[in-house]
Amino acid sequence: MPKRPVYLDHAATTAVRPEVLEVMLPFLGPDAFGNPSSAHRFGRAARAGIEAAKRTIAEALAAEPNQVIFTSGGTEADNLAVVGAALASRDAGGPFRAAVSAVEHKAVLAAAHFVAHLGGEEVVLAVNASGVVEADALEDALRRGVGLVSVMWVNNEVGTIQPVPSLAARCRDAGVCFHSDAVQAFGKIPVSVREAGCNFLTISGHKIGAPKGIGALVVRDRRAVEAIIHGGGQQFGIRPGTENVPGIVALGKAVELAAAERPEFARRVSALRDDFERRLLDVVPDAVINAWQAERAPHVSNVSIPGTDSEAMLMHLDLAGVACSSGSACSTGAVEPSHVLTAMGVPRELGVAALRFSFGRENTPEDVDAAIGALPRIVEKVRALAAVLHR
């Protein structure tokens, strides 16, 4: 086991950064704990923290401060964009359909399914073997008429980068709103709402060193979305409810740091990821790097190791002090390939053997050494066990 546990699951969540915790604490103390809707000094102090965070986030994303709507996280932001835009389209006399890529996060896929549950329609856009949306699939959806297209900027499982600016431009030409889940993109690759031309864009705090439970949706046109939570008039009525002030302040600081550090972060973690993949293929020559031929974000490596299953691999890696994620989901007691790999056409036997290693700012070359050092023995053990079970 390595001297310290090795965390290679940063795409799942990250630790709260000390700088972020430091700016949060005053808004949990006696001077700025107030309700930001209150007119007294305690409320004004809380409101000032929110407004400062809005300005910081807007600058980092090339948006306007009044376009930043705070949510409880990426899942809520995705639901607000997909369901809210579909409802707004319906109410304006447009199509009540949401088109989403086949490799979206479950937050987007489930939101599109809910549109269908409400009487609308979900349209799933096919992807190629790299996980990139097929142009013909988008064109077909636009011809049929949709109220919204949602395509994630960076895939959370395999790291594929979608051509968001060109997809958004095609939707704009067709008069259709475009949303991108940029949860895995922001802080890793350049993200500009203005340059990309997105109508809506999602970010999440816990992927960039803020606490869990805070995210944001950039809404460039408030008329294009309808609230899905109802209550007071906070945040233009788009997302009512008393704001999570410490979380919002934390998100602002995390965004500031991620934007400033992005070029160096990308350079360093891509070097770690590339070294990991090269050395993995040296020690496990039949391993498959999923989406290797695509343009990928620098921090994600999704690998399939033939003759193994991801759950057994995860257990043994954890025992060896290495934390990563499964590329599959446990359903009714059986390991099934992830919907992402299935949509990409990855064979089932490789889909159930997929692992995601995702790198972060705390990782070092020694972490790669530890993971590579543990893998050959674990692969041999899991393959041997699988061979016995399948006799």
User: Are the C-beta atoms of 153 and 185 separated by less than 8 Å?
Assistant: yes
Active-site pick, 171, 177, 324, 330: 330
Q: What angle do CA 258, 262, 263 make, to 5 degrees?
A: 165
DSSP assignments along 166-233, one per residue: HHHHHHHHTT-EEEEE-TTTBTTB---HHHHT-SEEEEEGGGTTSPTT-EEEEES-GGG---SS-SS-
Q: What is the spatial distance between Cα 27 and Cα 57, in angstroms, rounded to a whole number?
A: 18
Which SS3 state, helix, strand or coil, does residue 342 take?
helix
Torsion sign (Cα): 128, 131, 136, 141: positive
Active site residue 198: no
Residue 301 burial (CB count, 10 A): 26
Query: What is the residue whose two structure tokens read 């079970």?
Result: 389
Q: Quick one: CA torsion of 317, 321, 325, 331, rounded to 10 degrees?
A: 60
Q: What is the spatial distance between Cα 224 and Cα 227, in angstroms, rounded to a whole number?
A: 10
Q: What is the Cα 198 distance to its own chain's centre?
A: 16
Residue 364 burial (CB count, 10 A): 12
Selection from 358, 332, 180 nearest residue 265 by Cα? 358
Q: What is the spatial distance between Cα 345 and Cα 273, in angstroms, rounded to a whole number?
A: 24
Which residues are the active-site residues? 330
